Chains A and B, each alone.
Chain A
Amino acid sequence: MTKDEVKQVVLGIIADIAPDEDLSTLKPDVRLRDQMQLDSMDFLDIVMELRKRHGIEVPEKDYPQLATLDSCGDYLTPKFNALASKS
C-alpha cells in the first residue's frame, strides 16, 4: 500500500466517525485536532476502527503518531505492508 492509500483509509474512517465534518479542505500536515472537532473519544474510535477493519494495532504510546494525516501515513504504511506480506 502507498502512503496515499493509507491516508485514504484514515480519511474513510474519519468520515464515518465524524460525518458532520467537511474533510475536503483538510491539510495533511496540520494537526487533525486543530482542523476538526475531534476529542479523545473520537481518537479512540480511529484506533479501534483501524483494528476492527484492518487488523492494525496502535499501542497507546504511539497515539501522537496519528496527529496529522501525513504522520498517519508515515506511521501506518509500514504496518499495513507488514500485515499484507504476512497474509
Chain B
Amino acid sequence: MNSRSHYDVVILGAGMSGLAAGIRLAHFGRRVCIFERHNAVGGLNGFYSIAGRKFDVGLHAVTNYVRPGVKGTPLGKLFRQLRIDREEFALCEQKQSRVAFGPQGEMSLRFTNEFAVLESEIAAKFPNQIDGFRRLVALVRTHDDVALDATPLSARAVLREHVTDPLLEDMLLCPLMYYGSSQPGDMEFGQFVIMFKAIFLEGFARPLEGVRVILRVLLEKYREAGGERRMKCGVSRLTTRGDRVAALLLDSGEEITADHVISSIGLAETRALIEGSGVSGSDGAVSKQGPVRLSFAETISILDRQPAQIGWDRDTIVFFNDTSRFDYNRPEEAVDLRSGVICFPNNFQYPDDQYLAEGIFRVTCLANFGAWERLSPEDYRQAKSRWFAAMQRSAKRFLPQSTVPRMEELVVTTDMFTPLTVRRFTGHVEGAIYGAPEKIRTGRTEYSNLYLCGTDQGFLGIIGAMLSGISMANYHILAKSA
C-alpha cells in the first residue's frame, strides 16, 4: 500500500466521530489518514456478520430524527456539514416507544416522534406534574446546549425544580441515561438537554438495513474527498516533544508524523499511548483507580417471523425498570436485570414493500465489566447462556403476552455481547459505551496539537458522535487556518 509518512491530520479510530472529522478535513484539502485497529469501521456503532447474517452493535435507533423541512437541529447540521443528502440515510420513523416502570410495567408513558403524544401521556398519568413538565420543556428548548464552556449542573437538581414526583423524574431520565449517559445516578444538565431533545423533542428513526447504511455513506464521502484510511493498523504510541505530539508509532512498527492528531479512542485510552505517562494501554489497566465506567450486555434473538406476528406489533423501543427508584449504575452482579431496553428493529415504519426478512428482538441491560472479566473461558460461556435467558425473561415482563406459548421455538439463532466483547473490539476501557463520566467539551488536551473527539468529548448519540468529529475538526483545525 502506498501510504505517506507525514499527514496534515491523523485520526485515531474509524468510528462515527473519526469518520465525520475525516470527511470535513479531506473535503477542505487536508491530507488526512484514519488509523483503525479493528478490521471493520463503526467502532461503538458497528456491525458484524456471523454465518452471513449481519448484526448491528450499538445502534438501536438513530436519535435526533426530524422530518424534512425542520431546520436548525443537529440532524440538519450534520447533513449540511458532511454534504449528505438526507435521502442517502433512508431514515424510517419509529412506530412508538414506551417507558415502562413497575414489576410488570404497570406505569407506562408512550412517546413517538410527535412530542404531543408524550405531553398528553404525562397530562393523563401525572396530572399534577404537567405544568412543571411544561416549564421544564420550555427551559430545555431555550438552553444553549452546544456551548463548549458551560458550567456543569446536576440534571436531577434542575429537574426537581419543575417535576416533584420522583417516579416521573426517573421515567424521564431512564431513556436519556440509557441512550447516552456515562455518569451513574445523575447526568450533567447540558447532556440531559441534548438527550431530551434528541429522544423526546426530535425522535427515533432507522435505515432498513441499520447502521451499515450510515457507515457506507460516511465511507463513500470520505473516499470521494480523498481521505486515506488504514485498517487493522492502530496507533500504539504517541511520542511527545514539549507540548506537542511529535510522532506516532503504528502497530505495524512504522513511525509517522502529523501536524495535528485527533483521537476518538477516549481520553484515558489516548493518554495510555503517550510514552512515559506511566500507564499501559490496551488491557484496561488504566481504569483500576479511575471513575466508574458503565457498560452493557445485549442479547439478540433472531426469530423466524416478524415480532408483529406474535403480538409484538406496536413497540419500537421499550425502556423498562421494575424498582421503586431507577438505579442507573454499575451493578454488583454481571448483569442488572431490574432495568433495560428492548428494541425491535422490525417495528419502524418502513415503506410498504420493505421489511427485514427475519424478526429481531434485542435486550440491553447494564453490566459489570469486572464480573465478566474474572471468569474463566468455560465459566464465561456458561454465564453468557445463563444471563441470556435471564435478560430475555426480565424484558418480556414489559411486553404484551406473546401469542405463541414458547417463543424459543421461533428462534433461528442468537448472539450476545458483554462488556468484554466491547473492550475487545473497540479498545475502550472496561468496555465503556459512553466513555468516561468527565467530558472534555473543548476537546483540548495538555498537548497543543492533540484533540479529542467522540465519546469523551461528549456530544452524545449517533448524530452527536458525528457532530463531535465535525466540531472538533472545524474548531481546532479548519477555523484556525480559514
A contacts, CB < 8 Å to B? 16-20, 37, 39, 41-42, 44-45, 47-48, 51-52, 60
Contacts and interface: CB of A to CB of B under 8 A. Distances in A.
A47 B482 contact: yes
Contacts of A19: 80, 85
Given A20-B79, A52-B28, A41 B72 contact: no
B377 interface: no
B482 A17 contact: no
B469 to A, nearest CB: 13
Nearest to B83: A16
Given A19-B85, A20-B79, A42-B80, A48 B72 contact: no
Report which residue of A17, A41, A44, A60 has the largest number of chain B beta carbons within 10 angstroms of its beta carbon: A41
Contacts of A60: 482
B28 A41 contact: no
B30 to A, nearest CB: 11
B68 A20 contact: yes
B71 A20 contact: yes
Report which residue of B28, B72, B85, B470 has the largest number of chain A beta carbons within 10 angstroms of its beta carbon: B28
B478 A17 contact: no
Contacts of A20: 68-69, 71, 76, 79-80, 86
B75 to A, nearest CB: 11
A57 to B, nearest CB: 9
Contacts of A44: 474, 478-479, 482
B370 interface: no
A24 to B, nearest CB: 16
A50 B474 CA distance: 16
Given A20-B80, A52-B28, 17 more contacts: A17-B80, A18-B80, A19-B80, A20-B68, A20-B86, A37-B72, A39-B77, A41-B77, A41-B80, A41-B81, A41-B470, A41-B474, A44-B478, A44-B479, A47-B482, A51-B482, A60-B482
A41 B472 CA distance: 12
A18 B79 CA distance: 9
Do most interface residues of chain A lie in helix, strand or loop, or is the interface mixed? helix
A41 B81 CA distance: 8
Nearest to A16: B83
Nearest to B72: A37
**Number of contact residues on B: which range applies?**
10 to 19
Contacts, number: 38
Nearest to B71: A37
Contacts of B85: 19
Given A20-B69, A37-B71, A41-B474, A48 B76 contact: no
10 contacts: A17-B83, A20-B79, A37-B71, A39-B72, A41-B474, A42-B80, A48-B478, A51-B482, A52-B28, A60-B482
B29 interface: yes
B440 to A, nearest CB: 20
Interface string B45-83: 000000000000000000000001101100011011101
A39 B73 CA distance: 11
A45 B23 CA distance: 13
Contacts of B29: 52
A42 to B, nearest CB: 7
B224 to A, nearest CB: 14
A42 B182 CA distance: 31
B146 to A, nearest CB: 10
Report which residue of B28, B72, B479, B482 has the largest number of chain A beta carbons within 10 angstroms of its beta carbon: B482
A39 B146 CA distance: 13
A52 B226 CA distance: 14
A20 B76 CA distance: 9
A41 B467 CA distance: 11
A45 B76 contact: no
A51 to B, nearest CB: 8
B71 A48 contact: no
Nearest to A48: B28
Nearest to B471: A41
A52 B24 CA distance: 13
Contacts of A42: 80
Nearest to B77: A41
Interface in B188-227: none
A86 B71 CA distance: 41
Contacts of A48: 28, 478, 482
A18 B77 CA distance: 9
A48 B474 CA distance: 11
Q: Identify the 5 closest CB pairs spanning chains A and B, nearest first.
A: A37-B71, A37-B72, A48-B28, A47-B482, A48-B482
Report which residue of A37, A45, A47 has the largest number of chain B beta carbons within 10 angstroms of its beta carbon: A45
A47 B480 CA distance: 13
Interface string B154-188: 00000000000000000000000000000000000
A41 B28 CA distance: 14
Nearest to B68: A20
A33 to B, nearest CB: 12
B81 A45 contact: yes
A52 B66 CA distance: 31
Interface in B74-100: 76-77, 79-81, 83, 85-86
